[in-house]
Amino acid sequence: QRLESAPFICIAAINGWCMGGGLELALACHLRYAQAGDYLIGLLEVQLHLLPGAGGTQRLGRVVGQARALEMLLLGTCVCPEDAERIGLVHSLVNDVQLHSDTVATLLASRPPHLLQHVVRLHADAQQLAWSEGMERERGAFSAILRDEETLQRLAEFNSGTVRVPE
C-alpha cells in the first residue's frame, strides 16, 4: 500500500517470470510495462494451495475486470506477456522494457510532482466515489492547479507558441 500511495509514480518493468508476490508488487505500481519474451505472469498461489496475500485479490479485479480476475485467481492462471497486454494486466508490451520505462520516467519527472499526485488520487477516487463527489474533487484540484505559478507560466508559454504539445 505504501508503494501504491507513494508521492511519486511507480513503474513496473517486467522482463521475466512475474509470479505471486512479484505480480502483486507490480499491481501496486501505477504503470506496468512488459517486454516480449518466453515467460509467464500470474498469481499461481491457488495451485500451491495458497492465496495471494499482498493485495492480489484486491488489485487484480481493478486491473483486468472482476470476472476475469476471479477466474484467474480460482484457477491460478498465468499468461504470457502478449496476453497480459491483451487483457490489460500490463499497459503495453515493448521491445526494451528498461529503455521504455526509463523514457516514461524521464517524461514524468519533467512534470510537477503535485500535478501527478492529483491525477493519481483523482483516478483512484473515480474507482471508489460517487460521480458527483469525484467531480467535486476534480473541480477543486483543477482550481488549485490553475492558480499554481508553474501552471500559469506553462500556459503562457503555450499561448505564445514557445511550448508545443506533441500530436
Question: Could you list the active site residues?
Answer: 24, 45
- Element holding 61 (H helix, E strand): helix 56-64
Q: What share of the chain is helix, strand, coil (3-state, %, to 5)?
A: 55, 10, 35
C-alpha grid cell for residue 49?
Answer: 494451495
Sign of the CA dihedral 2, 85, 79, 97?
A: negative
